[in-house]
Amino acid sequence: MRQLNRILEGFGSTILLLFRSIGYLPTLPRQFGRFIEQCYLIGYTTLPIVAILSFFIGSVLALQAGYSMENFGAKQFIGSLVGLSMARELGPVMVAILLAGRVGSAITAELASMKVYQEIDALMTMNIPPARMLVMPRLAATVVMMPVLAIIANLVGWFGGAIVSKYTAFISIDPPAYFAALRRFMEFEDVLNGLIKAEVFGFAIVLVCCNIGLNTRGGPREIGASVTRAVVTSLILILVLDYFVTKALM
């Protein structure tokens, strides 16, 4: 019962934080510097690991698909399988998991430290709402950068699949044939659905991590506990939202 009350309390405080942050959106031009800084932290610093993982995910997809489809004489469709898998599911989910582990944990640690060491109280004493200064620029940066990261993940994953399809002996599909199959079976709607997923995942992750960080209580030990709780909650939320968003977009 206590755990259920804690979950409901966290959900309610997250919704309240969302409305407060949206209410401060007109002040974004005055915080353009913070917005650019968060775009750099959320997007640019995450880009290398997104590219590396996307390349190898696309490569593994092509390898596994080629091994299975070669037995049925359907290896010419590997491009479509890799393309659709990356665009609709693996691309946005992988980017969201990286965001939760790399950016979400850092956001929670920073805000939890500020809360524990009473910096949040100092901001409120100076009549500076934390939702305006600390949360809203991060949410705006996430909305801008998540589609960019998802598109890059898709492109790099497709390229990785093409390389493996070309240079794996039992597949041996030239890149023109690979991308022809990809274009034949993929529509713009497939890519758009993946971008919508990325937006929803990123927005939810940053909002949850900010809320957990701002509601941290206790001493320094609680900072680590908040980071763990934020990452675990974010990972569960990604999978839950993935089902409902997929269902809504079908």
Query: Which residues form the domain of 76?
Result: 32-249
- The answer to whether the beta carbons of residues 166 and 175 sit under 8 Å apart is yes
Angstrom distance (rounded) from CA 206 to CA 234: 9
pLDDT of residue 5: 67
Q: Is residue 85 part of a domain?
A: yes
For residue 10, being part of any structural domain is answered with: no
Tens place of pLDDT per residue across the chain (250 aa): 666 666 667 777 777 887 788 888 888 888 888 899 999 988 888 899 999 999 999 999 888 888 777 777 777 888 888 899 999 899 999 999 999 998 999 999 999 998 888 888 888 888 888 888 888 999 999 999 999 999 999 999 999 999 988 887 677 888 888 888 888 888 889 999 999 999 999 999 999 999 999 888 877 888 888 999 999 999 999 999 999 999 998 7
Residue 27 counted as domain residue:
no
Q: H-helix or E-strand containing 117? A: none
**How many separate domains does the chain show?**
1
| 67 inside domain | yes
pLDDT recorded at residue 172: 81
What's the pLDDT at 2? Answer: 65
Task: Tell me if 49 sits within 8 A of 37, measured CB to CB.
Answer: no
- Report pTM: 0.89
Predicted confidence at residue 3, as pLDDT, reads 64
Beta strands in the chain (DSSP E): none
Q: Give burial (CB, 10 Å; 0-12/13-18/19+) of 37.
A: middle
- Report which of 82, 55, 197, 203 is spatially closest to residue 143, judged by C-alpha positions: 203
pLDDT at 4: 61
What does residue 173 show for φ and ψ, rounded to 5 degrees? Answer: -110, 125
Q: Is 29:131 a contact under the CB 8 Å cutoff?
A: no
The answer to whether position 4 is within a domain reads no
In a domain, 125, yes or no: yes
Report whether 151 contacts 195 (CB < 8 A). Answer: yes
Assigned domain for 18 exists = no
State the pLDDT at residue 66. 80
Residue 120, in any domain of the structure: yes
